[in-house]
A and B are shown apart, each in its own frame.
Chain A
Amino acid sequence: MKFLPYIVKNIMRHKLRNVFTVLSIAVSLFLVTILYAYVSVQDELAAKSVQYNRVVVQHAQGLTFPVPLAYVDRVRSMPGVKAAVPLSWFGGKYKDDKIPFAQFATDPQTIMSVFTEYTVPPEQLSAWQNDRTGCIVGEKIARKRGWKVGDKIPLQGDIYPINLELTIDGIYDGPETADKEMLWYHYDYFDELLKKNRPIMAGNAGTIFVKVDSADRLSSMMRDIDDRFASSDAPVRSMTEQAFQQMFTQMLGNIRAYILNVSLAVVFSLVCVAGNAMAMSLRERTREVAVLKAIGFSRTTVLSLMLSEAMLVAMLGGALGVFGAKTLFDWTDLTVSGIPGFSTFYVPWSTIGLGLAVSAAVGLTAGAIPAWRAAQVSVVNGLRKVV
């Protein structure tokens, strides 16, 4: 610790160079943090959803095939099921939106017992339950679009040839990992319009979200549900909510590999760049290093002084980049509702830790060769050296 002033003084000697090195590392780690945060948020969402014991039932052939509405009641009556609701994607067009945000037809009486971690003021909930054309929206989408209770939301059907005229009755909230950009409305309203306009499409639950009473029961529950409808016209496939979410990220393709490759390239590039800067600083100080050794500092001390300098510069840049990214996404929101995998984004603390560790490693690797060479220089040669 007593060497800290010496290290800092050395860094300050070349202000411009070190500022550039710090900025270069900061900018690159800013990028790596954002890319990597995407991967960890997906993991975190999947991991957190486990604790809520939810199972999602979809048609065995995939989401584009209908699940009969009657299945909801049949699932509800199965032992071990706490609650079950239909959740049917509408995908309607709102005003000039190019990409539809998430709109689901569901059962307002039971939805809150399935999504228990979501909260909505009781008076708003009962207002919604009693308003056939009412809906509730997530806190985040309401904030983004400036929606208030009482606003009208007209939705033009895309998958379904019907248009909805909805009124916001309430705004729900939830923990950080919750999707707060959805709109939930009455299944009855949706189905009634379909019966009138295109009866063949009516009675489709889309998916069924099931709350199971205990975690131990999840896998047997999924098997029971699948078996129950196996020989019917519409066989189903149940999966945990975690697997359901992963299904969408998997559809995006191998983003993970792409992110990992780009991040690795950036980190290697940083090692080269920071290593070069460190080498320049140390080459100029060959004579000083020799003086240090001449007056009795050991090779190890000299080596650790150099390495500390490299790590300090790298970690300064790392901290700037990592916390810069964190601050940016605490203040701005770039999430897009309705695109699976992009509706929740934040910079998790695990990513911040990783970013700092990476910057320390970059400093260590980049400083290693120049510092080792500086430590090896013999006192006589070092003192003789004219830079």
Chain B
Amino acid sequence: MVPLKYNVRSLGARWVGSLMTVLGTALVVWASTLAFGLVDGLNHTLAISGDPLDVICMRQGATSETNSVVDEAVARQVATLDRIATDSSGNPLWSPELVVIVNSPRRADDTKANVILRGVTPAARQLRPGFQIVEGVDAMPGVRQAIASRTMAKRFKNAGLGEDIDVLGNKFRVVGIFDAGQSATDSEVWTDLEVLAQASHRTAFLSSIQFRATDEAARDQLIDRISTDEQFALKAMTEQDYFAEQAAAGDAIKIIGYFIAIVLLVGAMFAVANTMFGAVASRAREIGTLRAIGFSRRTILVSFLLESLLLCLAGGLLGILGTLPLNGLSTGTANWSTFSELTFSFRFGAAVLIQALGLVVIMGLLGGLFPAIRATRLKIVDALREI
């Protein structure tokens, strides 16, 4: 094998050209990794929302809570069903919830988006994994107080501590900030169920019921029981399934992201091929010498492929490093199934890293393949004669 040092030094000898190619591939990898990180962040948020034992019930035919209307009386019947888990003081872990959409201005640029204002009872807090108040106090039942997630407080005017959210002229004072571990709940503002129902003129109706089953068998049986019993006219599903269905919201971002990555990959491959053809052409005599002193064609092929890979890896690593400052940066997009904004964070985890490196390897190998083949085709005599 030709020592790797030879390739490194060769790249260094033509450093301006190498640097240009490295910068070019770095930018391409940066843009693609950004897209991957966006998709991964969105998927992550939907994947971790909902405990495996949690069940959500909506009106039959409704695909999201925003579109669902459930009679309060029906909800209370559900609460009496067997095998619903209870908290330490023996109350069922059962939560009737009302979702109201409030069009609110974003803090950054004053553009507007729909925010979920959720009316809940204390039980809801136990049904959200990782839910905790991190600043201020929890909202009191029966008064117009609200708690906002840390993300929402930062992202929306009116949702910060001490600010007011307006629902049909009723002001809800934000008294606390909560954190729900990057789940979909982090895209919400919460208040008391009864107060919100009155303020939004939606008394006696709920959007959904959520509860926790005692175990998996109980969960499946309860889902079956509720979905088939016509007196409920409800659709029950695990929370995880509910959020998985919403993952379709990310499909557009996913398709666009992969489209960008593939197109850029093709473009970058041509650029790498150009650089490597240049390298082969200007080093004809060296290649001839290598062959003359006994390196085989295959060794030369591998050597040039490695050089191309090295070039792309340098660019790729630079590009990946460039996305790191954006790690955890929160962003949001419209989730059309709930007609509200879903916030999530850029996430550059292992999966994204593997995708980005895969891109780099394909770029290096395919881009370098034809120049490397050309290098092996050189006749020793001709190559040595080259000036």
CB of B373 closer than 8 Å to a CB of A:
no
For the complex formed, measure the closest distance between the CB of A251 and the CB atoms of chain B, giving whole angstroms: 4
B61 engages A280 (CB within 8 Å): no
B266 engages A276 (CB within 8 Å): no
Tell me which of B20, B266, B270, B336 contacts A272 (CB under 8 A): B20
B103 engages A254 (CB within 8 Å): no
A269 engages B387 (CB within 8 Å): no
CB of A70 closer than 8 Å to a CB of B:
no
A266 engages B264 (CB within 8 Å): yes
Tell me which of B263, B275, B277 contacts A31 (CB under 8 A): B263
B34 engages A262 (CB within 8 Å): yes
CB of B347 closer than 8 Å to a CB of A:
no
With A31-B263, A269-B27 as contacts: A20 and B270 at CB distance below 8 Å: yes
With A61-B102, A279-B17 as contacts: A17 and B23 at CB distance below 8 Å: no
Q: How far is the CA of A98 from the CA of B251 in the complex (A)?
A: 11
B103 engages A23 (CB within 8 Å): no
CB of B260 closer than 8 Å to a CB of A:
yes
CB of B227 closer than 8 Å to a CB of A:
no
CB of A27 closer than 8 Å to a CB of B:
yes
CB of B331 closer than 8 Å to a CB of A:
yes
* Interface stretch of the complex, out of B79-87, B106-114, B184-192, B289-297: B106-114
* Interface stretch of the complex, out of A2-10, A113-121, A152-160, A374-382: A152-160
B residues within 8 A CB of A262?
Answer: 31, 34-35, 260
B331 engages A277 (CB within 8 Å): no
CB of A265 closer than 8 Å to a CB of B:
yes
B24 engages A273 (CB within 8 Å): yes
CB of B366 closer than 8 Å to a CB of A:
no
Q: How far is the CA of A254 from the CA of B112 in the complex (A)?
A: 11
* Interface stretch of the complex, out of B62-70, B156-164, B172-180, B216-224: B62-70
B103 engages A61 (CB within 8 Å): yes
A20 engages B341 (CB within 8 Å): no
B residues within 8 A CB of A36?
Answer: none
A161 engages B61 (CB within 8 Å): yes
B residues within 8 A CB of A28?
Answer: 263-264, 267
Which residues of A from 41 to 64 have beta carbons under 8 Å from B?
60-64
A16 engages B277 (CB within 8 Å): yes
B27 engages A253 (CB within 8 Å): no
B274 engages A276 (CB within 8 Å): yes
For the complex formed, measure the closest distance between the CB of B312 and the CB atoms of chain A, giving whole angstroms: 13
With A64-B101, A99-B248, A251-B341 as contacts: A265 and B30 at CB distance below 8 Å: yes
CB of A268 closer than 8 Å to a CB of B:
yes
Residues 181-205 of chain A, each 1 if its beta carbon lies under 8 Å from chain B, else 0: 0000000000000000010110000
Q: How far is the CA of A71 from the CA of B21 in the complex (A)?
A: 64
CB of B333 closer than 8 Å to a CB of A:
yes
A residues within 8 A CB of B21?
Answer: 272-273, 276
Tell me which of B28, B332, B333 contacts A265 (CB under 8 A): B28
CB of B252 closer than 8 Å to a CB of A:
yes
B23 engages A272 (CB within 8 Å): yes
A residues within 8 A CB of B196?
Answer: none
Q: How far is the CA of A101 from the CA of B66 in the complex (A)?
A: 18
Tell me which of B16, B248, B339 contacts A98 (CB under 8 A): B248
Residues 254-287 of chain A, each 1 if its beta carbon lies under 8 Å from chain B, else 0: 1000100110011011101101110110000000
A residues within 8 A CB of B201?
Answer: 233
CB of A1 closer than 8 Å to a CB of B:
no
Residue of A nearest to B115 (CB): A62
B62 engages A158 (CB within 8 Å): yes
Q: How far is the CA of A200 from the CA of B205 in the complex (A)?
A: 11
Residue of B nearest to A321 (CB): B267
A62 engages B103 (CB within 8 Å): yes
A residues within 8 A CB of B271?
Answer: 20-21, 24, 269, 273, 276-277
B23 engages A21 (CB within 8 Å): no
A269 engages B270 (CB within 8 Å): no
A residues within 8 A CB of B60?
Answer: 161
B277 engages A253 (CB within 8 Å): no
Report which A residues bind B (CB closer than 8 A). 16-17, 20-21, 23-25, 27-28, 30-31, 35, 60-65, 91, 93, 98-99, 156-159, 161, 198, 200-201, 233, 235, 247-248, 250-254, 258, 261-262, 265-266, 268-270, 272-273, 275-277, 279-280, 336, 338-340, 342, 386-387
Report the 5 A-B pairs with minimum CB-CB distance, sorted nearest first.
A62-B103, A24-B270, A269-B27, A273-B271, A276-B20
29 A-B contacts (beta carbon < 8 Å): A21-B274, A25-B267, A27-B263, A28-B267, A31-B260, A31-B263, A31-B267, A63-B114, A99-B336, A158-B63, A158-B67, A161-B61, A161-B69, A200-B205, A251-B113, A251-B114, A254-B109, A262-B34, A266-B31, A269-B23, A269-B26, A272-B23, A273-B21, A273-B24, A275-B20, A276-B16, A276-B20, A276-B21, A280-B17
